Chains A and B, each alone.
Chain A
């Protein structure tokens, strides 16, 4: 589905992604896991077409992402940021419908889709007429998830979508996300630094360090058969801390 071949990227002479190879399969939830500075967000931005690789190529079903028209690319691929990127001057509903409106999609069908999505992300319809500043963090992320799904894209990219939320909301959204993506059969690439989140959501996990792949596998594999001492180190560093909380 998504092929990343020999991709490198540096900023100001500093290599952020280094000869990166990865294939993401259709229908899987793939988590890019790593500490801050590991290059995981840069990689996601390159998949989303927001940043162009210096060398190498990222292709979507065989065609180079950077050669796709922006409108075409964004129709097949949704990108949801950490803060959600909701427009403050539009109410929740207008935010969600914006991508559909500019594409001139049928209003009736879109309305149907809107109520279906609201049910799916567990958002009360009365919140649709509220403006972003009137919503809680969790509601805002639900709205931006709905906006991401309104065009029914094959691929959903998520950049730490839950990291700004409090633990309780976060846990419930994690469960919802997994069931929504499985139900809709989406290919998902998600960036996080949180091992629990990665373990819970990811079919496969790619652990990154200094712009390189350390290991790509299921969480079980990662835990029981680390290919590199760094894997062990990274897992140990987080798990005891979470428990001590």
Chain B
């Protein structure tokens, strides 16, 4: 136990508290978002004005906008259309300038000028479909309303999404299905579906040879790429802002963006490398993920697991002891912690964001909550399974309740309690990979990146160390068992 606590303290203290200027750059979970955020990060780093903290891979437009609002991040790449539709929910805003004024007035936020390209929605057919149906324009779809179509959840829901499109062109798709974007591409490629919505700068248009339908009645609105920050960003980081103006604003057109996207998605460049190529710092060659990065992420992962585990033990063991005091308390705590377990991890993480913001805090909280059940349950079982004769024997020695708990019950239940802690730790290694979705870092960020790139080798660079970590924890706890569990009952 002492060893466990002291190693936790070391881990906790190792985070640095040095005073320096820090810019927190955010990005959503998709390739282009990552590349643009990486560009912003490198440009700022190159000025030497501040250290950059990369809060990449935040899920959903609402989450990242709120993160900026709450100063969890300082700047992130945003699209005018997304801000208008998904955040402000106001389709009447006519242009970029009006949008900029509203953001400033209502949220004290600064929207930069366009980075130079419009990444709007488009509907795409696969190669076979394009040949078979001979459709050129969106208005031609009227005659093909029974095409098999897939759209993202966001596109189906949003104000300027599917419903508005159908109204504008006067047709209704008979079989629209909701599907995650990367999976939808696979389905389209394999001919399982005929049509999906894409972004106009998506590298996969090139990769899968997709045919974009012409928006002949000008339905899709503009999605100009910009940077969104708080109003005072240029004052806080003047050099950085000047560098961004010089190197980024108006400097990327659609073709360049497709090129950067395909560097990452088709040619295996990291986001960092693709950004470096754009900034002329790196030549075109592929290097893979450096070991240093994997080690750093593993460190983050271990910290996530152990800090959460520490608190799960701190609360779980007393809760388990409390449960042995009465049937009612037992049912209450076991059902309570059991219910927590039934909430899907991602949903739990999302519920925690309004309270804890993004980053490591909600991740700690979620892992803490997930870690509770095995510890509470095993502590409860361990203590209630003690032979009643031994319990009575303790009373016959005249032991007080506290002495009985400390000297008899906890040592006798230690096999069970340690098994619960071990289960908790190993489950946490797995659950912690999901924490990357809310910017908590760890090995999950490689898995998230790999998923968004459809790149199995990146997924494995995250998944294999996570699996190794789980095995290592198993061995570590076998060792701790030998120290903590009294010899007389250790196997």
Chain A residues close to B by CB (< 8 Å): 48, 50, 70-75, 78-79, 81, 83, 85-91, 98-99, 102-103, 131-133, 147
* A98-B407 in contact (CB<8A): yes
A-B pairs with lowest CB-CB distance, top 6:
A85-B393, A74-B398, A89-B486, A131-B488, A71-B398, A89-B488
* B390-A85 in contact (CB<8A): yes
Instruction: Kindly state the separation between the CA atoms of A102 and B147 in the bound complex, as whole angstroms.
Output: 81
Q: B389 in the interface, Cβ–Cβ < 8 Å?
A: yes
B408-421 CB contact bits vs A (8 Å, 1 = yes)? 10011010000000
Residues of A within 8 A of B246 (CB): none
Q: B94 in the interface, Cβ–Cβ < 8 Å?
A: no
* A87-B408 in contact (CB<8A): yes
Q: B146 in the interface, Cβ–Cβ < 8 Å?
A: no
Residues of B within 8 A of A91 (CB): 487-488
Residues of A within 8 A of B389 (CB): 81, 83, 85
* A133-B488 in contact (CB<8A): yes
Chain B residues close to A by CB (< 8 Å): 389-390, 392-400, 403, 407-408, 411-412, 414, 486-489
Residues of B within 8 A of A103 (CB): 398
Residues of B within 8 A of A132 (CB): 488
- Interchain residue pairs with CB less than 8 A apart (5): A48-B396, A71-B400, A75-B398, A81-B389, A102-B403
Output the nearest chain A residue to B403 by Cβ-Cβ distance. A102
* A102-B398 in contact (CB<8A): yes
Instruction: Kindly state the separation between the CA atoms of A48 and B398 in the bound complex, as whole angstroms.
Output: 11
Beyond A87-B412, A88-B488, A132-B488, is A50–B392 a contact (Cβ under 8 Å)?
Answer: yes
Instruction: Determine which of B396, B403, B486 lies in contact with A50 in the assembled complex, contact meaning CB atoms within 8 Å.
Output: B396
Residues of B within 8 A of A81 (CB): 389, 392-393, 396
Residues of B within 8 A of A88 (CB): 390, 412, 488-489
Residues of B within 8 A of A71 (CB): 398, 400
Instruction: Kindly state the separation between the CA atoms of A50 and B392 in the bound complex, as whole angstroms.
Output: 8
| B484, chain A: closest CB distance, angstroms | 11
* B397-A74 in contact (CB<8A): yes
Instruction: Kindly state the separation between the CA atoms of A88 and B394 in the bound complex, as whole angstroms.
Output: 12
Instruction: Kindly state the separation between the CA atoms of A81 and B414 in the bound complex, as whole angstroms.
Output: 25
* A90-B396 in contact (CB<8A): no
* A102-B393 in contact (CB<8A): no
Residues of B within 8 A of A98 (CB): 397, 399, 407
Output the nearest chain A residue to B485 by Cβ-Cβ distance. A89
Residues of A within 8 A of B399 (CB): 98, 102
Residues of A within 8 A of B392 (CB): 50, 81, 85
Beyond A83-B389, A85-B390, A87-B408, is A99–B397 a contact (Cβ under 8 Å)?
Answer: yes
Output the nearest chain A residue to B399 by Cβ-Cβ distance. A102
Residues of B within 8 A of A86 (CB): 393
Instruction: Please name 12 further chain A to chain B contacts, defined as beta carbons within 8 Å, in addition to the given A48-B396, A81-B392, A90-B488, sorted by A numbering.
Output: A70-B398, A71-B398, A71-B400, A75-B398, A81-B393, A87-B412, A88-B489, A89-B486, A90-B486, A98-B397, A103-B398, A132-B488
